[in-house]
Amino acid sequence: MTPKTTSASSPLDAKRRLYGRRRGRKLRAGRRALMDTKLPLLRITLPASGSVDPRKLFSPPAREIWFEIGFGAGEHLTAQAASHPGIGFIGAEVFENGIAKLLADVESRGLGNIRIFADDARLLLDRLADRSIGRVFILFPDPWPKGRHKKRRLVSRETLGRLAQAMRPGAELRLATDDPDYAAWMEELLGSQDGFEALAQGEGAWAARPPDWPPTRYEQKAVSGGPARFFLYRRKG
């Protein structure tokens, strides 16, 4: 197994550090070429100052923006983009091999409604215009199961607070995990976050994946270790 590394995510925030791998196996020539030619056309670059209106990342401007944080190999993101051609999609991911796989799928399927932030998603969240996002996906993030590593989890009070600012009233927040401790963590944090309300209640309410959540190979691999739980919340008005 390749050891996880720690790297500074951006000079914009020297204190924030990104945990995890940025590269895996050496890319094949075709995917390396896509990283060199296709990624610059789709990549989101933060301006030196000011906020980012994500609708203007698309031409013509998208009527609504959906944001997937940590898209892995991009199967869910491309499936959603293909099913909703009128929506602008932003995917954030740091793993180079996953970005290259997404680029290959975007190219082969002719998708024009995806943009990529190839860095720590929280850096983009810090700059997104308020109430500019219509839906957010955080699917099977690294659970960081050891107690001393829980502070590295993507789902945190800080992240949820910034999401609440970036999401418009009524926007959906969709999460999934196969780690029981992380599931309890998500429920506890979201239950204490004034900006969100659960769209289902009761024991077992989150045990099945809704039909409009396309499955991914990563999900199938993840759930081999235990049942997945799916969460659906709404940004309060």
User: What is the average pLDDT across 92-110?
Assistant: 96
Q: How confident is residue 70, by pLDDT bands cut at 50, 70 and 90? A: very high
Region 83-106: mean pLDDT is: 96
Tokens encoding 142:
């690294």
For 129-166, the pLDDT digits (tens) are: 999 999 999 999 988 888 888 888 999 999 999 999 99
pLDDT, position 200: 76
**Residue 212 a catalytic site member:** no
Q: Hey, what amino acid is at 205? A: A
pTM of this structure: 0.87
Amino acid at the residue 145: P
**Domain 6-235 sits in which CATH superfamily?**
Vaccinia Virus protein VP39 (3.40.50.150)
Structure confidence at residue 3 (pLDDT): 29
The residue annotated as part of the active site, out of 142, 178, 194, 212, is 142
Measured CA to CA, the distance from residue 120 to residue 10 in angstroms comes to 8
Q: What is the mean pLDDT of residues 196-202?
A: 83
Residue 109: pLDDT band by 50, 70, 90 thresholds?
very high
Edge-to-edge strands, sheet with 65-69: 114-117, 88-92, 65-69, 133-139, 167-177, 229-235, 196-198
In angstroms, the CA 50 to CA 128 distance is: 9
